[in-house]
């Protein structure tokens, strides 16, 4: 029992030392945490890369990496979620200008497309508010090679 209490005390002390050092390393006013509202949030950004080359050329699988700045991808929707700070929302994804799209609220950092026919394709990825208002977007174009004898 005494060993457990001492271990707990040591763990608590270590946590407090790390937390204090982290707090002291930040300048006043620069602290940003998901636990407090962010005042004057910068504009959200979406950065989309080209599909990873290896899965595309060897298997015809388009893995499109993306990242956001000043915007968190979460599965929350509706007008109440628009007041969340730091800012949250989800993605809308459209392939080849088709009349349908889907919402992605997983925040995995990549869109994965399989089973696209060989040829040129365009994927539009948009960041949107919890109420589906588009904030911004970016399109990538790529070619899926003809790969025979493989299933996705």
93-149 pLDDT per residue, tens? 999 999 999 999 999 999 999 999 999 999 999 999 999 999 999 999 999 999 876
Contact assessment for residue 112 and residue 130, using Cβ atoms and an 8 Å cutoff? no
Task: State the pLDDT at residue 18.
Answer: 42
Q: Rounded to an integer, what distance in angstroms lies between the CA atom of residue 105 and that of residue 72?
A: 9
| pTM recorded for the entire structure | 0.72
Task: Say which residue, 129 or 28, is predicted with more confidence.
Answer: 129
Tell me: domain 45-144, CATH 2.60.40, correct? yes
Per domain, the residue ranges of the chain are 45-144
What separation, in Å, do the N-terminal and C-terminal C-alpha atoms of the chain show?
A: 56
pLDDT band at 51 (very low <50, low <70, confident <90, very high): very high
Task: State the pLDDT at residue 87.
Answer: 85
Task: Say which residue, 120 or 79, is predicted with more confidence.
Answer: 120
In this model, does residue 27 exceed pLDDT 70?
Answer: no
What is the percent of the chain where pLDDT is above 90? 59
Q: Rounded to an integer, what distance in angstroms lies between the CA atom of residue 68 and that of residue 73?
A: 8
Residue 44 is given by DSSP the state P
Q: Rounded to an integer, what distance in angstroms lies between the CA atom of residue 152 and that of residue 135?
A: 33
In this model, does residue 61 exceed pLDDT 80?
Answer: yes
Residue 10 is given by DSSP the state H
């Amino acid at each position: 029992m005494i060993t457990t209490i001492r271990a707990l005390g040591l763990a608590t002390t270590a946590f407090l030392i790390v937390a204090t050092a982290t707090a002291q390393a930040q300048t006043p006013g620069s602290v940003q945490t998901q636990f407090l509202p962010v005042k004057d949030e910068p504009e959200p950004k979406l950065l989309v890369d080209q599909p990873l080359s290896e899965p595309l050329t060897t298997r015809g699988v388009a893995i499109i990496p993306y990242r956001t700045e000043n915007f968190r991808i979460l599965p929350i929707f509706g007008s109440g979620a628009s007041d969340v700070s730091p800012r949250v929302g989800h993605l809308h994804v459209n392939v080849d200008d088709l009349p349908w799209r889907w919402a992605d609220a997983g925040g995995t950092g990549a869109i994965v497309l399989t089973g696209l026919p060989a040829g040129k394709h365009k994927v539009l990825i948009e960041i949107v508010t919890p109420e589906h208002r588009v904030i911004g977007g970016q399109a990538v174009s790529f070619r899926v090679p003809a790969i025979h004898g493989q299933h996705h």
